[in-house]
Structure 1
């Protein structure tokens, strides 16, 4: 029986892998390492880890492809790494299902903090049923189910958590930093664009579904689930 979370590090730079492994082992994590996208997917399927640290620039299959394939079969947390800092890279990674994003070079202490924060968020659901209903909307977090006007809506894990948090606090405004802390589990470490991306994705999936509620932007402040 495994006592420590296992982290799968996927990066073609062996020095980066050794660097990450050194710091993670000090924190008592078990480590697996892959330098190739296709190999990483094979390893993942045979022995799923507790969390994946995933570089974008990989041989055979890049990080975006690997993230996409993992999300087809698992909601295991993924932290993406890249030397690129363009907003397009961040948005694409988040839309594909990554839970967090770091740009190289990075502070190892920050990486450790993010790993621990993401793992804290990824806990088995409790036996208590967490569900809530409004006109035209039913959300069940335990069963990962959203129904709008008798139609099931497919959401990614973090989209589901964000929606459930907002509908559980109807008509209350939250800043991006508050949502990062409550849904992603850390404060001031994440890029606020993470929240924007997920709100936009939710809107695309829920827009024009009901006149009874909406995901509303409060300009200069944040977001709220408004019940009319």
Structure 2
């Protein structure tokens, strides 16, 4: 939902416009806390240790689930195509009857559900 800060009155100066764009990017982009870590709200991903931290709690995720969660958080609010996710996580084309991705997403939902704030929702007919 846009806020009053998202509107500009015409005519506007170029530097004001650029400042607004920078502010929007800071609000929507992951915050880098320091090398090898990405922060999304209260979730922190330690890329080197492949661990997710939620506040003071560590969420134990297997490697594939960690990679999948990172893909989801990096693209918050965007529908992600099943085949692209499969290729980026498993580094191969999707097998015709493979349910590996569906299983991993289901497990990820279970692990992240108690930690509220984000919800994995299927978007039908997107691939």
Q: Same fold (TM over 0.5)?
A: yes
Inter-partner Cα distance in structure 2 for 1:208 and 1:158: 20
Inter-partner Cα distance in structure 2 for 1:146 and 1:216: 20
Q: Are 2:76 and 1:170 aligned?
A: yes
Uncovered stretches (5+) of structure 1, i.e. residues with no partner? 1-128, 223-228
Q: Pick the aligned partner of 1:152 from 58, 61, 74.
A: 58
How far 1:170 sits from its partner (Å)?
Answer: 1.8
Uncovered stretches (5+) of structure 2, i.e. residues with no partner? 1-34
How far 1:149 sits from its partner (Å)?
Answer: 2.9
* SS of 2:84 mapped into structure 1: helix
Alignment of 1:1-228 (within 5 A): 129-189=35-95, 191-211=97-117, 213-221=118-126
TM-score (norm 1): 0.37
User: 4+ residue runs of structure 1 moved beyond 4 angstroms?
Assistant: none
Inter-partner Cα distance in structure 1 for 2:38 and 2:97: 29
How far 1:194 sits from its partner (Å)?
Answer: 0.9
How far 1:209 sits from its partner (Å)?
Answer: 1.2
TM-score (norm 2): 0.64
Check the 8 A contact 1:138/1:147 in 2, yes or no: yes
Alpha-carbon distance change, 169 to 192 in structure 1, aligned in 2, over 3 angstroms: farther
Check the 8 A contact 1:180/1:190 in 2, yes or no: no
* SS of 1:133 mapped into structure 2: strand
Inter-partner Cα distance in structure 2 for 1:180 and 1:196: 10
Higher strand content, 1 or 2: 1
Alpha-carbon distance change, 191 to 137 in structure 1, aligned in 2, over 3 angstroms: farther
Task: Give CA deviations for 1:51-84 in whole Å, capped at 9, x if unaligned.
Answer: xxxxxxxxxxxxxxxxxxxxxxxxxxxxxxxxxx
Matched residue count: 93
Check the 8 A contact 1:146/1:153 in 2, yes or no: yes
